[in-house]
């Protein structure tokens, strides 16, 4: 199964630092910690291919993902030459068959190094 997402966030006015648009974390741009990049505007896209479940198992699966995004002080100032890219892979385990809920362990790669994520539910 293929899943994709385009995410845009813009904060208007003089927002405090902790209210700015954040890039990174376990759901958007895995590979960068949450808030590694933050500014008034955020534009990111990510895609994931999910092998859920494997044909030889009714509980185990995997996923491969890639994402790219950037932040700026306004939508008109988005600079795609400063685009950040991250990607990785992970394993999935179906913990509740009746609810189709997976737990996941992902390893993500970015220019900052490796990121490890253990989470219940898909990233998006």
Q: What is the pTM of this model?
A: 0.91
Q: How many angstroms separate the CA atoms of 82 and 68, rounded?
A: 10
Q: How many angstroms separate the CA atoms of 68 and 6, rounded?
A: 10
| Span 13-28, average pLDDT | 95
Q: What is the pLDDT of residue 60?
A: 97
pLDDT digits (tens, 9 = 90+) for 35-93: 999 999 999 999 999 999 998 999 999 999 999 999 999 999 999 999 999 999 999 99
Residues 6+ apart with CB under 8 A from 16: none
| Span 15-22, average pLDDT | 95
Pairing, β 84-96 against β 101-110: antiparallel
CATH of domain 2-120: 2.40.160.50
Where are the chain's structural domains?
2-120
């Amino acid at each position: 199964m293929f899943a994709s997402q385009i995410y845009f966030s813009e904060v208007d006015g003089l927002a405090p630092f902790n209210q700015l648009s954040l890039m990174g974390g376990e759901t958007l741009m895995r590979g960068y910690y949450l808030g590694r990049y933050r500014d008034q505007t955020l534009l990111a896209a990510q895609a994931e291919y999910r092998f859920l479940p494997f044909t030889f198992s009714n509980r185990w699966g995997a996923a491969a993902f890639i994402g790219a995004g950037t932040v700026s002080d306004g939508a008109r100032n988005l600079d795609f030459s400063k685009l950040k890219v991250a990607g990785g892979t992970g394993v999935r385990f179906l913990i509740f068959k009746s609810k189709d809920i997976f737990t996941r362990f992902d390893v993500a790669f970015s220019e900052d190094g490796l990121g490890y994520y253990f989470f219940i539910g898909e990233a998006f």
